């Protein structure tokens, strides 16, 4: 009788090791993609890197394999370039585990494009419908109610100041960077049969047809988009050139409170959230050497609340929070290190 072959020897089976191997195989064939959009704030490079580490370590082998320094350099360069083009730029992080890569790109939104989109997102009156009380009362005081002085409205928006002034007889020139805002001013003026208002499209500093006989120059919610003291100096130079002696420049600007020393992160984030600010010393330096004297400095929040009609307060849903600088600095109003102020300068000679 043939002998039956002996059974193969038993191989010890490590069930845990086998299971872990199967799980590893499972993860190796899982695919994931993701996209994150972040404000382009160059001084926060360490925050970007920490976020990327949390997102990608263990997900992308290439990231874990040692390209962190290279990605940091790429990210810093992209951040710097995007922020230089516009403080409202965004950084886009796209990654894929199947391709095992991270792509870094930017989306740049110009100031004009940003405000063009406001009409779509915030309606036809994104800044409110009533003229600024400070602007209106200053014009009335300047003329004694005669309303015979010529006004220049810089960054006129949808025309809430320019249209109001023109309706009550003030000859008004309005300069607006956003094409859609400028067209809205023209349409409103035409509907009201206003012939004493002229609208200029574009950057006021590049507008060659401005007059030199203005008694009042207005820049409401404009300096908050300035990025440098050089732009502020250019505004003062324009006022010194275009105002008649005794004429007034009024503008709103975020000022740092006494005792606060701004950091690069604070300045960059504030510019991103449209509340760029200056220190009192920076403003004084920008006006130095020009025939302009500061004659009034008031809280925008306090002044407008005290002088606007009750049914016009607040001008917008975001006005109270924004004027306190809380778009960039969260917390209570009194805790914010910046505040929106009305500054009035008079041309001395």
At 286-305, the pLDDT tens digits run 999 999 999 999 999 999 99
Query: Do 148 and 169 contact (CB within 8 A), yes or no?
Result: yes
Q: Residue 192's CB: how many other CB atoms inside 10 A? A: 12
With 80 as the cut, is the pLDDT of residue 9 above it?
Answer: no
Q: What's residue 295's pLDDT? A: 98
Dmax over CA atoms of the chain, in Å, equals 132
**Encoded tokens for 66:** 């040692």
Q: What is the pLDDT of residues 122-174, one digit of tens each?
A: 665 677 789 999 999 999 999 998 898 999 999 999 999 999 999 999 999 99
**Cα–Cα distance between 339 and 333 in angstroms, integer?**
9
| DSSP bridge partners of 93 | 36, 104
Residue labelled with tokens 């009750």: 310
3-state secondary structure (DSSP) of residue 31: coil
Reported as a pLDDT band with limits 50, 70 and 90, residue 98 is low
Q: Taking a C-beta distance cutoff of 8 angstroms, is the pair 115, 225 a contact?
A: no
Domain boundaries, the chain: 32-107, 111-347
79 vs 5 pLDDT, higher one: 79
Q: Please check whether residue 250 is in contact with residue 197, taking contact to mean a CB–CB distance below 8 angstroms.
A: no
- State the Cα–Cα distance between residues 231 and 236, nearest whole angstrom: 9
Contact 107, 89 (CB under 8 A): yes
The domain made up of 111-347 has a fold known as Rossmann fold (3.40.50)
Separate counts of helices (H) and strands (E) for the chain: 13, 11
Across all residues in the chain, what is the average pLDDT?
90
According to DSSP, residue 210 is labeled: -
Does the pLDDT at position 331 exceed 70?
yes
pLDDT at 66 over 60: no
Q: β-strand 172-176 against 277-278: which pairing, if any?
A: unpaired
Tell me the H-state helices in the chain: 15-28, 45-56, 61-64, 68-85, 111-122, 133-143, 160-167, 179-191, 229-242, 264-272, 280-287, 300-307, 319-323
**CB-based contacts of 261, cutoff 8 Å, min separation 6:** none
For residue 165, give the nearest of 216, 224, 209 by alpha carbon. Answer: 216
By the 10 Å C-beta count (0-12 exposed, 13-18 middle, 19+ buried), 37 is classed as: exposed
CA distance 323 to 340: 5
């Amino acid at each position: 009788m043939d002998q039956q072959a002996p059974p193969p020897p038993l191989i010890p089976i490590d069930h845990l090791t086998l299971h872990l191997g199967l799980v590893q195989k499972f993860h190796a064939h899982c695919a994931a993609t993701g996209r994150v959009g972040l404000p382009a704030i160059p001084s926060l490079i360490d925050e970007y890197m920490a976020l990327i580490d949390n997102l990608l370590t263990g997900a992308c082998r290439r990231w874990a394999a040692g390209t962190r320094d290279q990605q940091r350099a790429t990210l810093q360069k992209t951040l710097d370039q995007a922020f230089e083009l516009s403080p409202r730029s965004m950084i886009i992080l796209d990654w894929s585990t199947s391709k095992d890569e991270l792509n870094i790109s930017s989306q740049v939104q110009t100031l004009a494009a940003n405000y063009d989109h406001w009409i779509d997102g915030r309606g036809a009156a994104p800044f409110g419908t009533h003229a600024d009380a400070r602007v209106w009362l200053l014009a009335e005081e300047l003329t004694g109610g005669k309303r015979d002085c010529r006004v220049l409205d810089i960054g006129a928006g949808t025309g809430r100041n320019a249209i109001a002034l023109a309706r009550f007889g003030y000859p008004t020139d309005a300069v607006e960077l956003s094409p859609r805002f400028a067209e809205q001013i023209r349409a409103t003026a035409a509907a009201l049969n206003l012939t004493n208002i002229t609208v200029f499209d574009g950057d006021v500093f590049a507008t060659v047809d401005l007059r030199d006989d203005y008694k009042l120059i207005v820049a409401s919610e404009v300096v908050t988009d300035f990025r440098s003291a050089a732009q502020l100096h250019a505004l003062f130079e324009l006022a010194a050139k275009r105002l008649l002696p005794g004429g007034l420049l009024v503008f709103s600007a975020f000022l740092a409170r006494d005792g606060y020393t701004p950091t690069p992160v604070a300045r960059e984030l504030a510019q991103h959230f449209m509340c760029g600010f200056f220190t009192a010393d920076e403003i004084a330096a920008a006006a130095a050497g020009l025939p302009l004297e500061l004659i009034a400095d008031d809280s925008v929040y306090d002044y407008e609340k005290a002088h606007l009609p009750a049914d016009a307060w607040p001008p917008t849903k975001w006005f109270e929070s924004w004027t306190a600088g809380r778009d960039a600095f969260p917390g209570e109003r009194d805790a914010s290190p910046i505040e929106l102020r009305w500054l009035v300068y008079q041309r001395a000679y």
